[in-house]
Structure 1
């Protein structure tokens, strides 16, 4: 697998406790929306038993000029060092890896169910699919991939890329964003969307046929396992489920 040297261009807080890092894309680097890379620190001042690198999903799309990853800032050696990096800091990149990617069939209806930092590969896939829809509908206004994103967080302040994804879906008649908050009453923002956790009743309010789509489930392992059980119990065939777990580090 190819290795690359990167320099940090900039950082941006994209939600409370969530940091996005941006890099120039190497000329010969390509990837599929939804894939991940191994990002490595160079001569970090501290490290831990897992070493100086971590696997992170690429939140940018293949057509965007920059590479972007986003991560929750936790109290680990890797995250502490990452949080202190300034523009020009050198890192290494290996990859891409993974098959948590869009299906080849452009007619497949997709449902994404994610929470928290699990939004990173979903941002890449959803924005890529919207761009493909827009290209298709220019040729045929009735042609486009139907997509629904269920995005669960505690509060709007915790939801990375929420406004961006809402605006993107608003431009695509085939895209629906269903954001839900489990602790909306603890937010300083007025929340008018769904509340609580993603469950079968919520799916039924927004999907015509729960058993039809291809599902992408990612986020904390407990959430992924619960969603898989819920969907299978609702009659969704297991071969319609794509999963990826995000453990904390």
Structure 2
């Protein structure tokens, strides 16, 4: 890994309480879809308050770098949100091994909860650009459409990539102000079995808070999935 100094180019909301930050991409910064980097704030202390790991949302072919995060009330998030455009910060990376397998004969089933979508955005953008032969299925759980980061882009990616299927579900529509015609239950074993019907030997990728990752591993076992076919990694992106 190496450390680079970059400028903040833009920031924008991508869901209620979730912000995306666009950074310039330094020369020589190469990464694989699904990897992460460390964000080090200017003048910040070492450790948790001064740096944080985030999955890279942008795909390797894109000219800039982007990450997204829930804007929780922490010292780091307050400092991050207060950065003006043009501010300099450091990135350290890339790192991480939650990357798509190479054999296109095996489908990829991506399972994300909330902001755990970030590494999969990079994968899906890359697959659309490269016209990948992988069959891709995304199971994406959120409370409400308002909370669902990158929902409109994911729906657009379905139209760009005929091999990509989106199965989004909302678990708290009683508190939503937006319409939703899709699924409204949790991702349980029946949901998984329906999603993978007809897929040949899929490999599963799980991303989200630690409790969700553990719960989904158990759900996949209940659905008859071999644990050796499940990949997950400590989640980057709170």
Band the TM-score falls in, shorter-chain normalisation: over 0.9
RMSD: 1.7
2:90 is the counterpart of 1:92 = yes
Cα distance, 1:175 vs. partner?
Answer: 0.9
On the 8 A contact 1:203/1:210 being kept in 2, the answer is no
TM-score scaled by length of structure 1: 0.90
What corresponds to 1:141 in structure 2? none
In structure 1, the residue matched to 2:18 is: 18
1:170 Cα shift? 2.0
CA displacement 1:184-207 (0-9 Å, x = unmatched): 121111110001211111123332
1:163 paired with 2:161, answer no
Q: Deviations over 1:66-122 (max 9, x none)?
A: 100001101111001001111011100110001000112233200000011101101
Q: Aligned in 2, Cα 1:224/1:209: closer, same or farther, shift over 3 Å? A: farther
The answer (yes or no) to whether the contact 2:36–2:236 under 8 Å persists in 1 is: no
Contact 1:211 1:237 in 2 (8 A): no
Secondary structure of 1:122 counterpart = helix
Report SS of the residue matched to 1:216: strand
Alignment pair present for 1:245 and 2:234:
yes
Distance 1:99 1:65 in 2: 22
Cα distance in 2 between the residues matched to 1:209 and 1:221: 29
RCO (CA 8 Å, sep 6+): is it higher in 1 or 2?
A: 2
Change (3 A) 1:34 1:247: closer
In the alignment, does 2:35 pair up with 1:43? no
CA distance in 2, matches of 1:60, 1:84: 22
> 2:176 and 2:49 mapped to 1: Cα distance?
36
Q: Which runs of 4+ in 1 moved over 4 A?
A: none
Q: Distance in 2 between matches of 1:156 and 1:73?
A: 17
CA contact (8 A) 2:205 2:230 kept: yes
Q: Give the Cα–Cα distance (whole angstroms) in 2 for the partners of residues 231 and 205 of structure 1.
A: 12
Q: Which residue of 1 aligns with 2:122?
A: 124
What secondary structure sits across from 1:74 in the alignment? coil
The normalised TM-score by structure 2 is 0.94
Hey, what's the Cα distance between the residues in 2 that align with 1:16 and 1:124? 21
Deviation at 1:224, TM superposition (A): 0.6
1:154 corresponds to which of 118, 143, 147 = 143
Unaligned runs of 5+ in 2: none
For 2:78 and 2:200, locate their aligned partners in 1 and report how far apart those are by CA, in whole Å.
43
Correspondences of 1:87-236 after superposition (within 5 Å): 87-132=85-130, 134=131, 144-209=133-198, 212-236=201-225
